[in-house]
């Protein structure tokens, strides 16, 4: 852990600046929580008014407060925070939680106050959490620097890092009702200094923390976040709820790749690379967190369902399928052993339906049999209030089996009042239960996903050595991009070639006769396209003529094409045409790379032509790519899947596409000044692939 952050997580002594003996003030709540949390270090109260609180002196200022104090929690009016911080600096304190509000979140005047604080902090080398935050809480140390109304969260193994303070309060309260505890909680507020990326490692280091959950409104530095999260996710699962989608996707951009990227796609790519699990809702995040904290990971995706009723079994099977889990094929031995104890009408096929007469003993015996089957990776037990027994009786019978199992077992405990005792029994034993099979299936899927992703944490970036960055640098140095930053087609092809990306030779011509000569040179049939910096979408303006078979056709079409373009866009600057041999027939895909403001180079892959935008058949990954990224780009898109061939469609060179993706990602990662590259289409042949049309835009 960064030494400067230590006082936040293991302070020797904590001073509360703004402690109050008025119970309705937050400064009272904070002092009370700190005391009640059973924190074992020194606790000091500070308030210019002095007095006494909980039998202890309230010191008039921090400088005269006796040590040891290495963490200050400030709950003084916004205007007084900078001054208090200054006093902390003089008192030798180098860590402060700014719980006060009234800073940049309230507008320009507040932002000025925040800048003052930053200046003071910089001067003294003080690390700050906040302002406008709830504080930090550790149930095991223990430590509670929040001012929230009690009770605090029960101790547990789920850590929570949040950009929103209001959500912390709700989560603490809700966790208690849902029967799981928190290990550490960090409310980050305005992040004037310490960010979500800074605290991720320190929070996860805690031995009581088994899962880290995060409520994110963004990240402060994309690449740093990815590398910090990746390091943590190797050891412990990280689940993030990233909000703010509705604000995104409104950037004005000049290419498909740019238009389709948007920050949400970048976040998804970043989370995938980092091994962070993205939750869609708050409930999902904590449902999953409980399962990850309390269950062993499964070896695969085959689930056995144990039920005492058919209906919920069917619901479970549906839910498993929709989460890409499968119903385990039980072995004959398993079926025979199940049959032994059950009535003849019971079903020993998966879902195993023991019928309504199932006793606690039936549940326990069958669960044991299912767990012993090698074809079973995990078990979902369905328990509606049993007509002939109590749910608590069933729970009691299963607890010892589940606690010693090496495979995850999740219970769908259906009902409310009749199952309360069972709920409490299971929660106390750290066994995961939900009210419905659907949520149980979702949690089992996350366990399986996590098991698969753990193995990929150490995966290296793919990098080709036969690339020539020097050549690219030279081209970029000499290039004369258009106003929008697009390179000419010659420079574009040179850059591609330097990175081993196969392009078609492209000749320029400014008269019909030159075009015909160029066509003779490349060989027929040719494609002739308008050459204009103002017309990135050539076909929209009639600027493309294909399959010209001889010089006569080229000459005739030259005039026609010019006429069409001039009619469509009389204002466009026309530099002539380009002539290119027609690529052989093949599958067409789009490859792109874009420089995302948060996460840097991002590679796109998908269906070429108009389908890319109309159909949205695209996927993104952070560059440079890993093997898993490449496979993801191909597997997540129809464009990628059909490379393997489909019905009458012949297979195309999948390996060539992967190679092109790797090289494009490497190019984009090596040259941040290339803000967009787009190969649309890449024509994928039976063997090899050709970039038919390429555009490169660079930073101006």
Nearer to a copy of itself, 305 or 622 (CB): 305
In eight-state DSSP terms, residue 488 is P
| Residue 650 CB neighbours (<10 A) | 11
Sequence-distant (6+) residues with CB within 8 A of 455 are: none
Residues 6+ apart with CB under 8 A from 219: 195, 196, 197, 225, 270, 598
Minimum distance from residue 26 beta carbon to a copy of itself (Å): 7
Binding flag, residue 574, a copy of itself (CB under 8 A): no
Measured from the CB atom, is 256 or 272 closer to a copy of itself? 256
Nearest distance in Å: CB 659, a copy of itself = 24
* Contact between 568 and a copy of itself per CB under 8 A: no
Among positions 139-158, residues that touch a copy of itself (CB under 8 A) are 147-149, 151
424: contact with a copy of itself by CB under 8 A:
no
Counting other chains too, the contacts that 21-24 makes at CB distance below 8 Å and 24 or more residues apart are: 21/51, 21/52, 21/53, 21/58
Does residue 331 bind a copy of itself (CB under 8 A)?
A: no
The H or E element that residue 380 is part of is strand 378-383
Whether the bond between 152 and the residue before it is cis, its omega within 30 degrees of 0, is no
Candidate segments 367-375, 382-390, 560-568, 651-659, binder of a copy of itself by CB under 8 A: 382-390
Name the helix (H) or strand (E) containing 667. Answer: helix 654-670
Near a copy of itself by CB under 8 A: residue from 10, 418, 454, 555: 418
279, β-bridge pairs: 241
Find the binding residues for a copy of itself in span 263-292 (CB under 8 A): 280-283
Of 324, 511, 638, 673, the one binding a copy of itself by CB under 8 A:
638
Cβ at position 254, least distance to a copy of itself in Å: 14
Q: Is 580 left (phi over 0), alpha (psi -120 to 50) or beta?
A: beta
- Please report how close the Cβ of residue 107 comes to a copy of itself at its closest, in angstroms: 6
- Interacting residues with a copy of itself between 428 and 487 (CB under 8 A): 435-436, 438-439
**In the complex, least distance from residue 555 CB atom to a copy of itself, rounded to whole angstroms:** 23
Neighbours of 356 (CB within 10 A): 12
Q: Does 251 bind a copy of itself (CB under 8 A)?
A: no
Q: Burial, 250: exposed, middle or buried (Cβ in 10 Å; 0-12, 13-18, 19+)? A: exposed
Task: Tell me if 322 contacts a copy of itself by CB under 8 A.
Answer: yes
Of 245, 251, 324, 464, the residue at the interface with a copy of itself (CB under 8 A) is 245
Task: Report the residue from 170, 457, 560, 563 that binds a copy of itself according to the rule CB under 8 A.
Answer: 170
| 325, 448 Cβ separation under 8 angstroms | yes
**Distance in angstroms (rounded) separating the CA atoms of residues 318 and 567:** 57
Q: Which is nearer to a copy of itself, 63 or 283 (CB)?
A: 283
Tokens of 257: 């790749």
Q: Is 314 in the site for a copy of itself (CB under 8 A)?
A: yes
Rule CB under 8 A: is residue 166 a binding residue for a copy of itself? Answer: yes
Say whether residue 250 binds a copy of itself (CB under 8 A).
no
Of 342 and 402, CB closest to a copy of itself: 342
User: How far is residue 209's CA from residue 184's CA, in Å, rounded to a whole number?
Assistant: 7
DSSP string, 101-120: --SGGG-HHHHHHHHHHHHH
Type and span of the H or E element at 514: helix 512-522
Angle at which helix 627-635 crosses helix 654-670, to 10 degrees, equals 120
Between residue 614 and residue 633, which ones bind a copy of itself under the rule CB under 8 A? 614-615, 617
Q: Does 414 bind a copy of itself (CB under 8 A)?
A: yes
- Based on the shown chain and the rule CB under 8 A, indicate whether residue 246 belongs to the binding site for a copy of itself: yes
Q: Which is nearer to a copy of itself, 303 or 494 (CB)?
A: 303
């Amino acid at each position: 852990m960064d030494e400067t952050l230590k006082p936040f997580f293991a302070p020797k002594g904590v001073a509360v600046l703004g402690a109050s003996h008025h119970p309705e003030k937050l400064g009272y709540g904070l002092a009370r929580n700190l005391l009640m949390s059973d924190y074992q270090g020194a606790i000091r109260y500070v308030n210019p008014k002095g007095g006494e609180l909980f039998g202890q002196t309230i010191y008039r200022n921090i400088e005269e407060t006796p040590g040891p104090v290495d963490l200050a929690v400030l709950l003084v009016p916004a205007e007084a925070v900078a001054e208090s911080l200054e006093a902390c600096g003089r008192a030798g304190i180098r860590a402060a939680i700014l719980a006060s509000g009234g800073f940049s979140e309230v507008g320009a005047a507040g932002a000025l106050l925040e800048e003052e604080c930053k200046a003071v902090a910089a001067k003294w080398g003080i690390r700050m959490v906040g302002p406008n935050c709830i504080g930090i809480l550790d149930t095991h140390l223990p430590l509670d620097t929040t001012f929230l109304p009690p009770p605090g969260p029960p101790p547990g193994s789920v850590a929570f890092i949040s950009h929103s303070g209001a959500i912390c309060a709700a989560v603490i309260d809700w966790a208690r009702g849902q029967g799981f505890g928190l290990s550490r909680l960090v409310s980050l507020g305005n992040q004037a200094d310490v960010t979500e990326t800074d605290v991720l490692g320190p929070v996860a280091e805690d031995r009581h923390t088994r899962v880290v959950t995060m409520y994110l409104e963004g990240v402060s530095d994309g690449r740093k976040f990815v590398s910090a999260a990746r390091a943590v996710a190797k050891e412990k699962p990280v689940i993030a709820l990233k909000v703010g989608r509705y604000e995104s996707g409104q950037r004005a951009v000049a290419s498909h790749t740019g238009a389709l990227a948007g920050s949400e796609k970048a976040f998804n790519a970043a989370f995938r690379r980092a091994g962070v699990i993205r939750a869609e809702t708050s409930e999902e995040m904590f449902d999953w967190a409980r399962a990850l904290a309390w269950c062993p990971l499964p070896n695969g995706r085959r689930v056995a369902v144990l039920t005492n009723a058919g209906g919920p079994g069917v619901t479970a099977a549906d839910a498993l399928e929709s989460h890409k889990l499968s119903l385990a094929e039980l072995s004959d031995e398993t079926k025979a052993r199940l049959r032994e104890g059950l009535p003849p009408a019971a079903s020993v096929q998966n879902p195993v339906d023991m019928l309504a007469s199932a006793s606690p003993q039936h549940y326990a015996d069958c669960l044991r049999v299912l767990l012993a089957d090698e074809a079973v990776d995990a078990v979902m037990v369905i328990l509606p209030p049993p007509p002939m027994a109590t749910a608590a009786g069933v729970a009691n019978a299963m607890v010892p089996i589940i606690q010693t199992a090496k495979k995850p077992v999740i219970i769908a405990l259906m009902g409310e009042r009749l199952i309360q005792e069972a709920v409490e029994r299971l929660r106390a034993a750290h066994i995961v239960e939900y009210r419905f099979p659907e949520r149980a299936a979702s949690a089992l899927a996350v366990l399986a996903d996590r098991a698969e992703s753990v193995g990929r944490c150490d995966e290296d970036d793919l990098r080709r050595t036969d690339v020539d960055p020097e050549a690219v640098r030279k081209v970029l140095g000499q290039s004369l991009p258009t106003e929008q930053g697009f390179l000419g087609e010659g420079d574009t092809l040179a850059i591609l070639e330097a990175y081993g990306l196969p392009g078609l030779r492209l000749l320029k011509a400014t008269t019909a006769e030159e075009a015909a000569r160029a066509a003779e040179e490349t060989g027929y049939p040719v494609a002739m396209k308008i050459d204009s910096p103002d017309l990135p979408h050539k076909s929209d303006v009639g600027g493309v003529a294909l399959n010209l078979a001889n010089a006569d056709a080229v000459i005739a079409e030259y005039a026609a094409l010019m006429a069409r373009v001039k009619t469509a866009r009389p204002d466009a600057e026309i530099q002539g045409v380009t002539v290119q041999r027609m690529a052989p027939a093949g599958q067409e895909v789009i490859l792109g790379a874009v420089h995302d403001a948060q996460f840097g180079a991002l590679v796109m892959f998908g269906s070429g032509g108009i389908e890319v935008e109309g159909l949205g058949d695209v996927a993104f990954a952070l560059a440079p790519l890993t093997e898993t990224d490449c496979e993801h780009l191909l597997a997540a898109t129809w464009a990628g899947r059909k490379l393997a061939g489909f019905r009458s469609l012949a297979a195309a060179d999948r390996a060539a596409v992967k190679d092109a993706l790797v090289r494009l990602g490497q190019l984009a990662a090596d040259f941040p000044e290339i803000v967009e590259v787009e190969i649309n289409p890449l024509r994928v042949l039976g063997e090899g692939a050709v970039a038919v049309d390429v555009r490169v835009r660079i930073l101006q």
